[in-house]
A and B are shown apart, each in its own frame.
Chain A
């Protein structure tokens, strides 16, 4: 696994270093809303195929950072480069309601056979039967899976997930965790998952970051094989550390 931290990993082999050019490189990113600096010198690297989770209290600027990476917010200062194609799945699935599910997936898709590509993507997320459905007739979990299919069909180098599971019920969320994990194993995009759920971050990500005070305040690597068990002792220790970073004591976090 490539190491993403600058200054920590020595890259002695230049071609290998070139091949491992990170898909995201952010240095000193700032974003102000009026007087308030929501991002204040944030640094971030995401390697190709790396799964990174970004935690933070509400209002900490997680979504602001994601929106900057998605190109939705251009009023930022500092250095930001994304090397490759980007796709986004939002918290609300944001399907276009007047287009059927398949048309949502193919929207803006170029290529020889968008329809076949869409059907493959829908099959991967288990929505083969729902291609002709209207978005408003889907359940929350189905809509979110359609949104994932719409993002994945573009074969992105970077997949941005903005709290995509937070509006789902607990059972659906577990299924979605497994789905995202499988899809990542198969396609290997770099992923930035913005979430406020520490367990979700620990189950899915290679690296968990905490955003605080407008910059990355903490970083944990999760070296465990997947699928991970929630009650693995290493995760318990990491969870306590991360919760402490977020200003929650472990007792409160497990309650």
Chain B
């Protein structure tokens, strides 16, 4: 419906081509850019940045949460630091990251990793601490041992909350990537968009935004699929 209105407005000249091109124009631009390889290259560069940053950030966030969640010593060592760092504005760090890491891949990946780490850390930590103490007693009575307690009770018990963190962190991962790619990039979707702006190619800019949105929706759908499979034990969970 919206697409039809949009197409009609563009067709009748109500919506100037320079502000917002017709959906058909964008689609044909997309096809052109796929054919000449520009779009696939840009997507693969951006997805790689997001994936590497996400994996690093997720490993750090979950790893630190397990460390802090499972022992008082770990909590005292990790949690105050994380709470302090959390207060820093993520995008305010960009100038610092450029000074530290230059303008290559590193500052982009680092920004994504940092953005991902915090929601995963906070949710996993609170998930671990929220595990029912009565189940820990069951583990004690069943002689599961320390590792058995962690494996059978603590980690699965923290999973629902950790998955909430995962969804938040994926949202932040794409956001951080978009911002990082706007500021300095010589490849990737952000570069493609910036480049198009200089040549007033609104169609390419809009196409880039559509691709960003599609990637975000795709990863969100993946997490929902994961949730559905991992949390079937929850009563009333829609399967």
Contacts and interface: CB of A to CB of B under 8 A. Distances in A.
Interface of A: 70-72, 86-88, 90, 92, 94, 96-100, 107-108, 134-137, 150, 154
A108 B142 contact: yes
B141 A96 contact: no
Nearest to A92: B134
**How big is the B interface, by class?**
20 to 34
B137 A72 contact: yes
A135 B233 CA distance: 8
Given A90-B134, A134-B233, A136-B234, A98 B157 contact: yes
Interface of B: 134-135, 137-144, 148, 152-153, 156-157, 159, 232-235
Nearest to B155: A98
B235 A96 contact: no
Contacts of A88: 141
5 A-B pairs closest in CB distance:
A108-B142, A136-B235, A98-B233, A98-B156, A134-B233
A249 B15 CA distance: 89
A87 B140 CA distance: 11
Given A134-B233, A137-B235, A96 B138 contact: yes
Nearest to A107: B142
Contacts of A150: 142
A65 B144 CA distance: 23
A96 B140 contact: no
Contacts of A71: 140-141
B141 A87 contact: yes
Nearest to A88: B141
Contacts of B144: 107-108
Contacts of A137: 235
Which of B134, B137, B140, B156 gathers the greatest number of chain A CB atoms within 10 Å? B137
Nearest to B231: A98
Contacts of B159: 98
11 contacts: A90-B138, A94-B134, A94-B137, A96-B152, A96-B156, A98-B233, A107-B142, A108-B142, A108-B143, A134-B235, A150-B142
Contact of B148 (A70, A97, A108): A108
Given A107-B144, A136-B234, 6 more contacts: A87-B141, A92-B134, A96-B153, A97-B233, A98-B156, A150-B142
Nearest to B132: A94
Which of A87, A88, A92, A108 gathers the greatest number of chain B CB atoms within 10 Å? A108
A107 B148 CA distance: 9
A86 B141 CA distance: 8
A107 B235 contact: no
Contacts of B140: 71-72
A136 to B, nearest CB: 4
Nearest to B141: A88
